[in-house]
Amino acid sequence: MSKIAEGLLYSESHEWVRVDGNVAIIGVSDFAQAEMGDITYVDMPDVDDEVAAGEDFGALESVKTSSELISPVSGRVVARNDELEDKPELINEDAYEAWIIKVEMSDKGELDRLMNAAAYANIAG
């Protein structure tokens, strides 16, 4: 049974969003990291890159699989978690602590399409 953090928004592709004003902090859920197994690399966009809701902005890699990271929102990348470059295992250790990118949202309305913790629990049970 994977952990689901309260107070976050979730996408069907298992990304979470923590909203901080106009900025969306994005990571992957505990369910996603458990499915991946030991994460060996996180492919992230650069700061100032544009991301679009529903499109991939990077990928998680493990030894035998890879999984695209799908952006839950559109906007401009304002920060990325460079610590993950050398320590991708931080996502395995605590998926909700290890954020991946921060996005300045161009359309906060896109958040409405995401799920709350309770709704997400139905698909990531």
Partner 1 sequence: MGAFSYFPQTGEDIRVMLERIGVGSMDDLYADVPADFIYKGEYDLPSAMSEQQVRDFFESLAAKNTRLKVFVGQGAYDHYVPSVIPYITSRSEFLTAYTPYQCEISQGTLRYIFEWQSMICRLTGLDCANASMYDGPTAAAEAVRMCVASAKRRNSVLVSARLLPNVIDTIKTYAKYAGINVVVSDQIFEDVAEGVLDLAGVIVPSINRFGVIENHLGLADLVHQMGALLVEYCDPSALAVVKTPAEWGADIAVGDGQSLGIPLCFGGPYVGFMACRTALMRKLPGRIVGQTTDASGKRCYVLTLQAREQHIRREKATSNICSNESLMALWCTVYLSLMGPEGMRRLNALCYEGAHYLHDALLATGKFQRVFDADFLKEFVLKPLCPVEKLQKALLKAGYFAALQTEEGYVTFCVTEKHPREELDCIVEIVKSVK
Partner 2 sequence: MKYYDKLIFELSKPGRIGFSLPETLLADKQQLPPKKPATLGTVRGGTASEAQRWGPKDVFQGQAAAGSRIWREAPLDLPEVSEVDVVRHYTNLSQMNFGVDTGFYPLGSCTMKYNPKINEEIANLPGFTGLHPLQPNETVKGALEVYVGMDKALAAITGMKHFTFLPCAGAHGELTGLMLMREYHQSRGDTARTKVIVPDSAHGTNPASAAVCGLDIVVVKSKENGLVDVDALKGLLGPDIAGIMLTNPNTLGLFERDIKEIAQLVHDCGGLLYYDGANMNPLLGVVRPGDMGFDIMHLNLHKTFSTPHGGGGPGAGPVGVSDKVLPFLHIPRVSGFHGNFGIILRAYAYILMLGREHIKLAGKLATLGANYIKESLKDCYKLPIPTVCKHEFVFDGLLEDNGVTTLDVAKRLLDYGFHAPTIYFPLLFHQAIMIEPTETESLETLDAFIAVMRRIAEEAKADPEMLHGAPHDTPIGRPDETTAARQPVLKYE
Site residues, partner 1 (CB under 8 A)? 40-41, 43, 46, 49, 59, 61-66, 68
Nearest in space to 53 (alpha carbons), one of 118, 125, 111, 120: 111
**Residue closer to partner 1, measured from CB, 7 or 37:** 37
Give the Cα separation of 54 and 101 in Å (integer): 15
- Taking the C-alpha atoms of residue 110 and residue 86, their distance in angstroms, rounded to an integer, is 32
Q: Which does 38 bind (CB under 5 to 8 A by kind): partner 2, partner 1, none?
A: partner 2
Choosing from 63, 109, 112, 125, the residue that interacts with partner 2 (CB under 8 A) is 63
- Closest distance of CB 1 from partner 2, Å: 19
For the chain, give the longest Cα–Cα distance: 38
